[in-house]
Structure 1
């Protein structure tokens, strides 16, 4: 039976299972990179296409407030189970498994539908995840610590910011004032944002100049 899963017709489902386990481990150790605000980017209707985006997201299970890695782990699990089931049924009915490409299309359609139900169930079991999704601007007026290099005007550095739910976010920051430098390991207060870039005032500035 194990040798069956090493055949090309099952390989994509085995790969999906391995990726699912890897993502599950990342989420379990709490790296905090799975938290994503879908509402800000995916809510609403696609203009001109006649596609009801909220309906599509509901079908995919993306509107239940789960962190993206939890949702993706669930999707990969549903895809794997659906794929193996499709190949097993094809073997029993047709005498052999489907081509992996055709089986993948069928498994993705089935798995996506099932994942909508699974995501809703996970959201009920894990309600605390829903409460930790924050808007990007909620990080303003929070303190970040520079992780690599030094942040100067025109030369942003990567910083770690912890929100009110103790979740870590990793952002790029520059000093709010032209002459300031925020060195590695230093803490600064995020005071404004332009796109994905945050501007921060060094906390070691004793005067803490008016913003």
Structure 2
């Protein structure tokens, strides 16, 4: 157990701690009907970015899953490197040597698994029509939105699919409270919408 308390093992133990914290946050958010996964993806957007992030499949695979894969591989690889060094050379490698190796070993695995996960995820084109047709529907706020600060909400596309959106209040509305029903009045882009409090509680569209 003392091996995990060594200074050389700190980055990998910290990565495991962050991984556990993310799992707890996601679990708690699901209890309240939200999802950190969908919130992060809403911040990134649905169009995969260019460059290195696009190569890692950010925007194609859920960001929280990609982060969890990286943290798991980084922590596992780093601890294995340290254990092998201690067992074979009787010397735990310094962090300046083991951390880059752990990162370089983790990134290809993250990309490979992201490729498979991305193929299983629905494409933006699949929901393009659904998102565009959500104007006029009622959504439930999963967070507290105010002017300039969007919050997550969920609604149905009418075909049994639950869609998660980022919603901000209309300029005529000060805020949208968590748990309230709101009417989507305008699409900003992708899954970002402007909404007002539902003027008709009996409105089920």
TM-based fold match above 0.5: yes
In 2, Cα distance between the equivalents of 1:148 and 1:81? 35
2:48–2:58: 8 Å Cα contact kept in structure 1?
A: no
SS in 1 for 2:61: coil
Q: Which runs of 5+ in 2 are unaligned?
A: none
Over aligned residue pairs, what C-alpha RMSD do you find? 3.8
Q: 1:23 aligns to what? A: 22
Q: Secondary structure at the match of 1:42?
A: coil
Does structure 2 conserve the Cα–Cα contact (< 8 Å) formed by 1:75 and 1:115?
A: yes
Check the 8 A contact 2:183/2:197 in 1, yes or no. yes
The alpha carbon displacement at 1:32 in A equals 2.0
Unaligned runs of 5+ in 1: 44-52
Query: How many Å separate the matches in 2 of 1:148 and 1:171?
Result: 9
Alpha-carbon distance in structure 2 between the residues aligned to 1:26 and 1:85: 27
Equivalent-residue separation in structure 2 for 1:112 and 1:149 (angstroms): 35
Aligned partners of 2:82 and 2:98 also within 8 Å: yes
Q: Give the secondary-structure state (helix, strand or coil) at the position aligned to 2:67.
A: helix
Structure 2 residue aligned with 1:81 = 76
2:64 matches 1:69: yes
SS of aligned partner of 1:189 = strand
Question: How many pairs does the alignment contain?
Answer: 184
2:100 alignment partner in structure 1: 105
Q: Is the 8 A contact 1:156 1:174 kept in 2?
A: no
Distance 1:32 1:99, change over 3 A: same
In 2: Cα distance, 1:89 partner to 1:150 partner: 50
